[in-house]
């Protein structure tokens, strides 16, 4: 048994079934519906990959598959790192199993997302039969789509990088009636930057104070989201719900509206348990 096969069995044996996603699930959400937290991840496809082939397969199939996976990750909105550039949030381990026929390949692809050497999510496509030239692109697309829509990866991404919403370049008040002064904008940005630093360090009370000060300087709805995030991290479910709802009222076209609504339902469900 190969090392990669042992690796997969180890996780299956301890009951981590929610880590796995099957490739090309019926009704899978399109790339545009990937959660904002997952899109914020920085990913690197590892050089160390498992390539198990039968028959006369293209010796560069692994290279073509890796390039296709990188392209699909980028298409999904993730930042794809190459070589040793930067620090990744997740490392993608690729496994290909294929058998060759006349101008065709049959096989499946496994993608494992790892953090610090520990698997956090996995996607395995079904065995499929495609022309050899089409196999990498088709199978990479299905594997990456399944991985990026994995609930396990979404949960990891939210815990890893629950980033506060960035300050707009030209913040406006919630009512949109009065444009804030340059001094107010500068103050809001300063408090936001301080709050973001505290947030990254897990100093949520300090971050909360800074985001509140930012909102007092410039009452932009994005700060309400940041305030809600801090309350949620501190276990203040009631306050978090109130500020999430306030954020949605003041930003009816928020790009993360679906994610926030889901978070509200989860928090309200927890309060009722």
pLDDT tens readout for residues 70-89: 999 988 888 898 877 778 88
Yes or no: say if 100 and 57 are a contact pair by the CB < 8 Å rule: yes
- pLDDT, position 1: 34
- pLDDT, position 244: 93
Q: Out of 81-85, 168-172, 241-245, 259-263, which region has the weakest mean confidence (pLDDT)?
A: 168-172
Yes or no: say if 194 and 213 are a contact pair by the CB < 8 Å rule: no
Alpha-carbon Rg of the chain, whole angstroms?
22
- pLDDT, position 273: 46
Higher-confidence residue of 207 and 29: namely 207
Q: Does residue 172 sit within a domain?
A: yes
Question: Per-residue pLDDT for 146 more than 50?
Answer: yes
Final residue before a domain boundary, out of 137, 159, 181: 159
Final residue before a domain boundary, out of 112, 143, 159: 159
The rounded distance, in Å, linking the Cα atoms of 162 and 33 is: 17
User: Which residue segment(s) compose the domain that 223 sits in?
Assistant: 165-272
- pLDDT, position 18: 45
Question: Per-residue pLDDT for 6 more than 50?
Answer: no
Beta strand segments in the chain, E: 20-22, 42-45, 50-54, 79-81, 90-100, 104-115, 118-124, 128-131
Name the band, by pLDDT with cuts 50, 70 and 90, for residue 145.
Answer: very high
Q: From residue 20, how far is each of 3, 28, 69, 123, 203 by CA, in Å?
A: 19, 14, 18, 5, 33
Q: Does residue 191 sit within a domain?
A: yes
Domain match, 139 and 38 both: yes
pLDDT single digits (tens) 188-236: 999 998 998 888 888 999 999 999 999 999 999 989 999 999 999 999 9
Domain match, 143 and 233 both: no
Name the band, by pLDDT with cuts 50, 70 and 90, for residue 241.
Answer: very high
pLDDT mean across residues, the chain: 80
- pLDDT, position 161: 60
Number of domains in the chain: 2
pTM of the model: 0.53
């Amino acid at each position: 048994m190969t090392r990669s096969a042992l690796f997969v069995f180890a996780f299956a044996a301890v009951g981590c079934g929610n880590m796995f996603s099957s490739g090309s699930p019926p009704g899978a959400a399109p790339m545009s519906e990937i959660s904002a937290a997952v899109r914020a991840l920085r990913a690197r496809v590892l050089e160390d990959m498992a390539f198990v082939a039968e028959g006369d397969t293209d010796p560069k199939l692994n290279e073509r598959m890796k390039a296709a996976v990188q392209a699909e990750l980028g298409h999904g909105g993730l930042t794809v790192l190459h070589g040793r550039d930067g620090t990744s949030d997740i490392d993608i381990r690729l496994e290909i199993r294929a058998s060759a026929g006349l101008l065709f390949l049959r096989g499946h692809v496994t993608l494992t997302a790892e953090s610090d050497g520990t698997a956090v999510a996995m996607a395995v496509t079904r065995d499929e039969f495609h022309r050899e030239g089409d196999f990498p692109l088709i199978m990479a697309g299905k594997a990456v789509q399944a991985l990026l829509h994995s609930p396990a990866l979404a949960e990891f991404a939210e815990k890893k990088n629950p980033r506060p919403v960035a300050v707009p370049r030209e913040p406006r008040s919630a009512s949109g009636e009065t444009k804030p002064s340059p001094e107010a904008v500068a103050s809001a940005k300063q408090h936001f930057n301080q709050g973001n630093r505290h947030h990254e360090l897990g100093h949520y009370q300090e971050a909360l104070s800074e985001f509140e000060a930012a909102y007092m300087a410039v009452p932009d709805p994005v700060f309400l989201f940041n305030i809600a995030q801090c309350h949620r991290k501190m276990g203040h479910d009631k306050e978090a719900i109130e500020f999430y709802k306030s954020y949605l009222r003041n930003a009816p076209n928020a790009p993360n509206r679906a994610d926030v609504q889901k978070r509200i339902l989860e928090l309200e469900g927890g309060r009722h348990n």
